[in-house]
Structure 1
Amino acid sequence: MRDDLLDLLWEGLKETLYMVAWSSVFALLIGIALGVTLVVTERNGILAAPTLNKIIGTLINGVRSLPFIILIVLLLPVARFVVGTSLGPTAAIVSLSIGAAPFLGRIIENSLKEVSSGKIEAAKAMGATPWTIIFRVLIPEALPALVRGITIAVIAITEFTAVAGAIGAGGLGSLAIRFGYQRFRVDILIATVIVIIALVQLIQFSGDGVARSILRRRRQL
């Protein structure tokens, strides 16, 4: 019974890590694009485009307003088109990435807005191009806040994988539902919860450590 539990947990953990890793990468790429665009296109921004800003902001709010379980169902045809199936960890990555990207975009937007406007104005006065300001001023200056925000987003994606497990995505969430709950295996249910908690704590600890390291290096300069 113990070997069975360990095998199931190990398989579920591998699938969860697979989903979290790839979903975080894709969500981060989309989220950075969204967050940066929202900041630079706002009124009086370095690439001011209020209409575009409003459109993107509305789309983000629309996606974020949907409960994740509903969003997964709506994106099943997209997952089937992209990867050829709507079941399994790979298919779930499509829904997880699209579902987490708007959330991550708002986090990145708020982190970038913490950068002092004086530093941006100083860069403009020195003749820096918008792209230079974005990659040499905005992102580097906001890096500690960005790391903390990304950490929160990765934890949210980890939680989303548990929800995705309810509709055949696999991973620890599916393990808890199919074996722990439906088959009345309390040992599996408890063990799965413990593993998920440990995984979330590890992600939070790692993110906080990276953010502190960045701040420590800045103080030493």
Structure 2
Amino acid sequence: MSSAMLDLILQATLDTLYMVAVSGLISTLLGLPLGVLLYVTRPRQILSRPLLNQGLSIITNIGRSVPFIILMVAIIPFTRMLVGTSIGTNAAIVPLTIAAIPFVARLIEGALNELSPGLVEAAQAMGASPWQIIYKVLIPEARGGIITGLTITLVTLVSYSAMAGAVGGGGLGDLGIRYGYNRFNPTVMLYTVIILIVMVQAFQSLGDYLVRKSDRK
């Protein structure tokens, strides 16, 4: 394989890591509070707001129900308005983030569901406010489940970023399609698949390590 192709593979790998890192960070910053809200606004919860909860739940379900490739094409005008283009890595970050936010929210909600109701009751008995319960009880106690959820999100974003290559999103998916599929070069396709597998394994191993470390704490 030529040095030029190796440079393309390296750049595509860096582009994929960039897309996953930025979209993962933004979706966590937005999806974490959304997931907490979905949990605490349920009936009989500490910030019970049934109508708000129902509205958030509907919006979240709609966001999760749209296939990523359709979402990416559907929001092209919004992507172009936001970043000035509809192709490339920066453009791909927009649909990646929008797709990941409701995904993260439901995973966070699921992690909080695993907690014993007795934790909240004990905190309330000690006079803790709802926000103190959220920041000092719910999130710390659900830390392992939250880390697992975020790990799943990163792995999912890797696969989504590869799909983004089908519509000019850049990264390894774009490289595999342009140089592997369209030019009938199985070697490039093989390298692309191997790098994606290694990337997924690395994220999963890091997440498992952080969960184990969290559990010991």
Same fold (TM over 0.5): yes
Quote the sequence identity (%): 47
Amino acid at match of 1:131: W
Where do 4+ consecutive residues of structure 1 move more than 6 Å?
none
2:18 maps to 18
Q: Offset of 1:61 from its aligned partner?
A: 0.8
Match of 1:167 in 2: 167
Q: Which residue of 1 aligns with 2:193?
A: 193
Cross-structure match for 1:35:
35
Q: Residue 148 of structure 1 aligns with which residue? A: 148
Tell me by how many angstroms 1:97 deviates: 0.4
The residue type equivalent to 2:152 in the other structure is I
Cα offset, 1:30, TM superposition: 1.4
Q: Which moved more, 1:3-12 or 1:63-72?
A: 3-12
Q: Deviations over 1:138-166 (max 9, x none)?
A: 00000011101110011001110001111
Tell me how far apart the structure 1 counterparts of residues 124 and 216 of structure 2 sit (CA, whole Å). 28
Residues 102-135 of structure 1: per-residue CA shift (max 9 Å, x gap): 0111000000111111010111111111110000
Q: Which moved more, 1:56-65 or 1:201-210?
A: 56-65
2-structure distance, mates of 1:109, 1:74:
27
Q: Distance in 1 between matches of 2:54 and 2:91?
A: 31
The alignment yields a C-alpha RMSD, in angstroms, of 0.8
CA distance in 2, matches of 1:160, 1:78: 19
* Residue deviations 1:169-207 (CA, integer Å, cap 9, x gap): 100000001110001111100000000000000000000
Gaps of 5+ in 2: none
CA shift, 1:8, in A, is 1.5
Distance in 2 separating the partners of 1:87 and 1:5: 21
Aligned residues: 217
